[in-house]
Amino acid sequence: MTRDLAAAIVLLLALGCASQPIQRVTVRDRELAVVRSIDDPRELRRFAEAWAGRTASSKQLPADFDLVLDIEGGASPGRWQYATEGLARVLSAKRAPTYAVPDPAAFNSLLGSD
């Protein structure tokens, strides 16, 4: 019974964290200067929809990536490297997978890098 209760609590915590909406996205250039901050609810919804549509990619993120995305909240918070060809990878000391956003041109426009 105790093990079932512990498993239920862990599951509820995981679901609660995953369902948090994205609170803010700070878009930075390679030198980490702020390009723009996305905190308008409509723009955050557009960002979240595009971000949720990203898929794993076999392409590698270029070493000369264009932007850094600081994502607060949501299912994938943290600092992400982003190339305007639509590729993103979480900043990590370990090898991390690369993802592709579905419509790079629209996503770049939202980020202010068009």
Residue 20's pLDDT is 83
Q: pTM here?
A: 0.81
Residue 113's pLDDT is 86
Domains of the chain, residue spans: 21-111
| Residues of the chain with confidence (pLDDT) below 50 | 8, 10-17
- Joined together, the tokens standing for residue 45 give 């919804």
Task: Work out whether strand 22-29 and strand 67-73 pair parallel, antiparallel, or are unpaired.
Answer: antiparallel
End-to-end CA distance of the chain: 56
pLDDT in tens, 58-80: 999 998 999 999 999 999 999 99
| The residue count for the chain | 114
